[in-house]
Structure 1
Amino acid sequence: MTDIEIPRPTSGDVIELILDDHRLFENLLRECRRSDTDRAAAREALAELLVAHAVAEEEKVYPELRRARAIGAHEEEHGEEEHAEINEALLAFLEAKGTDTKKYDAALEELATAVNHHAGEEETDILNPAREDLSIDRRESLGVAWATRRNQLLEEGCASAEQVAALIAEAVDEGVLAPEEAREEADAVKDAAKEKAKEIEEAAKK
């Protein structure tokens, strides 16, 4: 639970409900940056909302959209992967000691980048097809299911550092997210390839 009151709609078009949360993400990220607000409360509210929103989508929305053929396996899996990446950035943000340090600021911007990227892709690749392929009745039925699960998670409290770490571990176990070591190795290979390409380009200029 958080000191900041998060809206708890119980019904509506699932697309509009999700878009409302996307706007709320932006507002809470802004509150986390401000120097004249309770940053700790804003951080806690943002964490709770991000987790509740994403879990409810994965349980109630993505599978239904796939059954309706509004999205395919790729879109569903990519959405889940980006949720896991957001959770990784969120965990680093939650573990930043205090709210007035460079580590806090850096972790916040990493999280903001991940959240904004995912929201943009989701609106284009998932919500637009849902808008086109699902009737308003079906979207409203889905809105009730999503909001009910989201609100339940918010009431229970779902985004302590331990809970977020458990979600990341689950994503790795399910193959949604590659183990950190494998991703670090892949990044090292990419960096080496970029460096080699740069060397070749520099040599060609001489």
Structure 2
Amino acid sequence: MATDVVELILADHRRFEELFRALRDRTNDRAALQGELSALLVAHAEAEEAEVYPALKRYKRIDNEEVDHGAEEHAEGHQALLALLEVGDTSSQAWEDKLEELVEAMTHHVDEEERTILNDTRSRVADDRREELGRLFLRVRQEKLDSGCGDVESVRRVAAATEERID
């Protein structure tokens, strides 16, 4: 299993995209998919912010403003995720509207993070350090997943704790 932090983050990004496609399909079990997406989004963001972003901010050749902006976008994603979870009825138009708002927010974040933070990390952070960051990212991510971080109450707490980051 690869532990390069860039590859791990990219793999999660691709999984987000798969889940968004699956959630748009009304024939799928949207509640189950929503649960998986919610947990993964929260665990991913929390692991990045706990281990990856602080480490990257210490590198002079990584743009701290981009890292801070990534954290702001996580906060926006948490707000959009909470709005989706609070709708409840996964067959309603309101739920589909909130899903599209979440997709838009996350697609924007993923695109920016990949073009800026991850490209810089790949080219400017040594392989062994990226491996170490990957192991730390995986550990925190798994701890969060094991804690049930995707339920609506957990997302409410995370959204409230990160609300001040939103411009």
Band of TM-score, shorter chain: over 0.9
Equivalent runs, 1:86-97 vs 2, <5 Å: 86-97=77-88
Aligned to 1:98: 89
Q: Deviations over 1:45-97 (max 9, x none)?
A: 00000000000000100111111224233112111110000011000110112
- Paired residues, what number? 167
Rg comparison, structure with higher value: 1
The answer to which of 161-170 and 118-127 deviates more is 161-170
Matches of 1:108 and 1:69 in 2, distance apart? Answer: 37
Matches of 1:118 and 1:44 in 2, distance apart? Answer: 20
Deviation at residue 103 of structure 1 after TM alignment:
0.5
User: Equivalent of 1:147, from 134, 138, 145?
Assistant: 138
- Quick check: 1:176 aligned with 2:165? yes
The answer to which of 52-61 and 95-104 deviates more is 95-104
Q: Return the letter of the residue paired with 2:110.
A: A
Question: Larger RCO: Structure 1 or Structure 2 (Cα < 8 Å, ≥ 6 residues apart)?
Answer: 2
Equivalent runs, 1:3-82 vs 2, <5 Å: 12-82=3-73
What is the RMSD computed on CA atoms of the aligned residues? 1.3
Secondary structure of the residue aligned to 1:46 is helix
Aligned to 1:84: 75
Aligned to 2:106: 115
Matches of 2:26 and 2:55 in 1, distance apart? Answer: 42
Aligned to 1:188: none
TM-score normalised by length of structure 2: 0.95
Q: Which runs of 4+ in 1 moved over 6 A?
A: none
Name the % identity: 46
- Quick check: 1:137 aligned with 2:128? yes
Matches of 1:159 and 1:21 in 2, distance apart? Answer: 15
Unaligned runs of 5+ in 1: 1-8, 179-206
Aligned to 1:6: none
Kept in 2: contact 1:84–1:177 (CA 8 A):
yes
Matches of 2:125 and 2:19 in 1, distance apart? Answer: 30
- Quick check: 1:164 aligned with 2:141? no
Unaligned runs of 5+ in 2: none
TM-score normalised by length of structure 1: 0.78
